[in-house]
Amino acid sequence: MVCAQYNNVSMCGGDSGGPLVCNNRLAGITSFVIPGCPPSGHNGFAKVSSAKILNFIKTYMSN
- DSSP code of 55? H
Read off the pTM: 0.73
User: What is d(CA 59, CA 2) in angstroms, rounded to the nearest whole number?
Assistant: 22
Helices (H), 1-63: 51-61
Each residue's pLDDT tens digit, 3-41: 887 788 888 888 889 999 999 998 999 998 888 888 877
User: What is d(CA 50, CA 3) in angstroms, rounded to the nearest whole number?
Assistant: 14
User: What is d(CA 49, CA 41) in angstroms, rounded to the nearest whole number?
Assistant: 24
Q: Which fold has domain 2-61?
A: Thrombin, subunit H (2.40.10)
Q: How confident is the model at residue 45 (pLDDT cuts 50, 70, 90)?
A: very high
In the predicted structure, residue 43 carries a pLDDT above the cut 80: yes
User: What is d(CA 3, CA 45) in angstroms, rounded to the nearest whole number?
Assistant: 6
